[in-house]
């Protein structure tokens, strides 16, 4: 379940001292679902989903998939789009029936002079305190509604993070979600660094900052937004359930939906490098002992011929311990 693209990646992975995780689809199970639609004006839930699914229909993002699936479930109408634009880590926009529709983060809408009122902010805060992510639908210059989406932490995430910390690694969570949601969803992970509302380019910069502090960094992600960070990291690890861009950008691909494979990859790298060093010592030791004995004629040719393959068998036998280690 672990694909390592190049041999030298194992050496870098064995030296990693800091793991950086994306939240959605990596630490969480990736089964993002729409759990509610709140309309501020006269749009019905059906209309909100129709507009949202229409502008998200060409996106690979996990949020887009959840919204489109929900709209299909309710047999919502799909509108024709004009001037579609995608803004990675922020949102999407398009013209629908003459209206400019934007779907994305509150911060992105605010940057476009589309803001929430105090009463609307209160509704949003109450939702986010439950660990529910919110995406906002704006029509022209007014926010019409928000869609709540929920995602559960992977069952193995707490144990994986704990064991990585016990191995001496620092753990950081990077997410484009709001701080209150990130804190709520990852609370059970304990003492880890959490950075929220991070744009794709900022994820890469965050990795660079950690590297500048002397850490060897592994980035674990699954989305198109994680690709720059996967490339910047010393080792990029992608979940195979992620986008083609993230898989292409990664050094290691986890083919199963199991975060514990990240821990297994780390142990595999450390064990492999340790056994390689042991085999080098075995080979050198054999030659240091046997070559002088042969030169002094203290070992006859028959004994030398017998002992030579024995040294090779010792190296092969020691190397086979890697397979036995991971069958435990």
Beta bridge partners of residue 148, listed in sequence order: 36, 134
Note if 234 is an active site residue. no
Q: Is 28 helix (H, G, I), strand (E, B) or coil?
A: strand
The answer to whether 266 and 243 are in contact (CB under 8 A) is no
The answer to whether 211 and 227 are in contact (CB under 8 A) is no
Q: Is 36 helix (H, G, I), strand (E, B) or coil?
A: strand
Choosing from 22, 29, 151, 177, which is the catalytic residue? Answer: 22
Q: Is 175 helix (H, G, I), strand (E, B) or coil?
A: coil
Q: Can you tell me the distance from the alpha carbon of 45 to that of 49, in angstroms, rounded to the nearest whole number?
A: 6
Beta bridge partners of residue 138, listed in sequence order: 102, 143
Between the alpha carbon of residue 146 and those of residues 25, 39, 255, the distances in Å are 21, 7, 34
Helices and strands counted in the chain (H then E):
13, 13
- Neighbouring C-alpha atoms within 13 Å toward the C-beta of 319: 12
Q: Which residue reads 């020691």 in tokens?
A: 318
Q: What are the residue numbers of the active site?
A: 22
């Amino acid at each position: 379940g672990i694909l390592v693209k190049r041999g030298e990646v194992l050496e870098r992975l064995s030296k990693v001292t800091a793991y950086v995780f994306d939240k959605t689809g990596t630490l969480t199970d990736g089964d993002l679902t729409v759990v509610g639609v709140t309309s501020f004006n006269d749009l019905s839930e059906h209309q909100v989903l129709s507009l949202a699914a229409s502008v998200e229909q060409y996106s690979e993002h996990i949020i887009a998939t959840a919204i489109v699936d929900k709209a299909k479930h309710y047999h919502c109408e799909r509108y024709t789009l004009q001037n579609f634009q995608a803004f990675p880590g922020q949102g999407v926009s398009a013209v629908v029936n003459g209206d400019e529709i934007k779907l994305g983060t509150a911060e992105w809408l605010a940057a476009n002079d589309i803001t929430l009122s105090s009463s609307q902010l209160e509704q949003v805060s109450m939702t986010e305190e439950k660990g529910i992510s919110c995406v906002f639908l704006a029509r022209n210059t007014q926010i019409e509604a928000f869609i709540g989406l929920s995602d559960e932490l992977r069952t193995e995430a707490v144990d994986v993070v704990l064991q990585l910390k016990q191995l001496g690694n620092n753990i950081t969570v990077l997410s484009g979600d709001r701080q209150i949601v990130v804190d709520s969803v990852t609370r059970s992970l304990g003492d880890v660094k959490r950075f929220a509302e991070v744009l794709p380019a900022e994820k890469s910069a965050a990795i660079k900052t950690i590297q500048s502090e002397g850490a060897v960094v592994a980035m674990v992600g699954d989305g198109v937004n994680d690709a720059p960070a996967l490339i910047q990291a010393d080792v990029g690890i992608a979940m195979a359930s992620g986008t083609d861009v993230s898989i292409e950008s990664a050094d290691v691909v986890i083919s199963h939906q199991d975060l514990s494979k990240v821990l297994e990859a780390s142990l595999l790298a450390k064990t492999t490098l340790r056994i390689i060093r042991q085999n080098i010592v075995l080979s050198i030791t054999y030659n240091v002992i046997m070559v002088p004995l042969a030169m002094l004629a203290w070992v006859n040719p028959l004994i030398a011929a017998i002992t030579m393959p024995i040294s090779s068998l010792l190296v092969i036998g020691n190397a086979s311990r890697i397979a036995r280690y991971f069958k435990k």
